[in-house]
Amino acid sequence: MRVKLLFFATLRDRAGMKFLELEIPEGMTVQELKDKISADYPNLKQSMQSVLISVNKEYAFDEAVIPANAEIAMFPPVSGGSWDS
């Protein structure tokens, strides 16, 4: 089945592209997809340990099964400043 991966922020820079269309097996989980990306795209391997993922515009956990024709967005973890005044 086919899915579309969208890369944002530093992930886009590391991937060297805005998006990627990919064939994946039916029943693949988010974690299995992250493992596949890590193996196929070494520049992204480290990022896959802490990446935030949404599937069809809803955040998804590692055990979520990816549906056919899904749009998967990948975001680096958000870091911010201090709450101190």
Q: What CATH code is carried by the domain that includes residue 43?
A: 3.10.20.30
DSSP 9: T
- Report whether pLDDT(85) > 50: no
Alpha-carbon span 26 to 11, nearest angstrom? 25
User: HEC profile for 12-69?
Assistant: HHHHCCCEEEEECCCCCEHHHHHHHHHHHCHHHCHHHHCCEEEECCEECCCCCECCCC
Each residue's pLDDT tens digit, 33-56:
999 999 999 999 999 999 999 999
* Residue 84 covered by a domain: no
Each residue's pLDDT tens digit, 58-76:
999 999 999 999 999 999 9
- Domains: count for the chain: 1
pTM of the model as a whole: 0.88
The pLDDT value recorded for residue 47 is: 93
- Domain of residue 17: give its range: 2-75
**Res. 77 pLDDT band, cuts 50 70 90:** confident
